[in-house]
């Protein structure tokens, strides 16, 4: 598992917790900007989980660029509303996982094919 945040205050805390829990052999903590990380590690992960990388269209773009075709993106949602414009989903080759419509908690998307 790779944990990513651009704020070193957060990653320092995560790193301490990973070591305290004895997970250092299977969890990597990285302090980096999402844009740079995505550019250096495209389509490398089966799943990306995000609170959000920024505005919805940016979050979709980064998430799609991180996961392999068929990979999934799990994104936390605000309490109300659906912020995922279908044109953004199409542009990033993403589809909602059937039966997992936005619930006010998370939305689950799947990379339908090769993303750009």
pLDDT in tens, 61-106: 999 999 999 999 998 876 666 788 899 999 999 998 876 655 557 8
- Phi and psi, residue 66, nearest 5°: -85, -30
Average pLDDT, the chain: 87
Q: Which residue has the tokens 């004895």?
A: 22
Q: Output the pLDDT for position 94.
A: 94
pLDDT (average), residues 32-47 = 93
Q: Output the pLDDT for position 76.
A: 83
């Amino acid at each position: 598992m790779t944990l990513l945040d651009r704020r070193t205050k957060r990653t320092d805390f995560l790193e301490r917790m990973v070591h305290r829990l004895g997970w250092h052999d299977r969890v990597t903590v990285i302090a980096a900007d999402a844009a740079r990380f995505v550019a250096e590690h495209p389509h490398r992960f089966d799943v990306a989980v995000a609170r959000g990388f920024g505005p919805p269209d940016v979050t979709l773009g980064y998430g799609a660029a991180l996961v392999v075709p068929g990979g999934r993106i799990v994104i936390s949602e605000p309490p109300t509303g659906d912020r995922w414009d279908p044109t953004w989903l199409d542009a990033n080759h993403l589809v909602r996982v059937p039966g997992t419509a936005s619930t006010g908690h998370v939305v689950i998307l799947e990379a339908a094919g090769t993303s750009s």
